[in-house]
Amino acid sequence: MARKKLVKGKKEKVGYVTKKCPECYAYVKIEAEVCPYCKTKIGHVGSHGMAIRKVDWKSYLTFAVALIALGVYIWWAFLRG
Ligand SMILES: [Zn+2]
């Protein structure tokens, strides 16, 4: 009687003690939420031990507002009438 063990492509989530900062590639503690070297907000460890970059909505919003303001300025300065 042969016992067949089906091995699925299961990804091991535990095992890491450090993760890599996606910004400066420094090794930081697995539980760190902010890189101590470049102050980038980092999430949990992703593939290849690299930390996932956290989405900073505040800076995205600031960027979007700045872009819209620039667009309005260009329209106002060059494309009016
Ligand atoms: Zn860093």
The pLDDT assigned to 10 comes to 57
Q: For the chain, where are the E strands, in sequence order? A: 18-20, 27-29, 42-45, 51-53
Query: Number of structural domains, the chain?
Result: 1
In tens, the pLDDT along 44-64 reads: 998 889 999 887 788 889 999
| Greater model confidence, 66 or 55 | 66
**Ligand 1 geometric centre to CA of 81 (Å):** 49
pTM for the structure as a whole:
0.51
**Ligand 1 geometric centre to CA of 21 (Å):** 5
**Ligand 1 geometric centre to CA of 67 (Å):** 27
**Ligand 1 geometric centre to CA of 63 (Å):** 22
Q: Let me know if residue 56 belongs to a domain.
A: yes
Give the domain range for residue 71.
18-79
Q: Let me know if residue 52 belongs to a domain.
A: yes
Tokens read off for 4? 């067949």
Tokens read off for 80? 């009016």
**Ligand 1 geometric centre to CA of 19 (Å):** 10
Q: Let me know if residue 37 belongs to a domain.
A: yes
Q: Let me know if residue 13 belongs to a domain.
A: no
Q: Let me know if residue 51 belongs to a domain.
A: yes
Q: Let me know if residue 35 belongs to a domain.
A: yes
Please say whether the beta carbons of 42 and 52 come within 8 A.
yes
pLDDT above 70 for 6: no
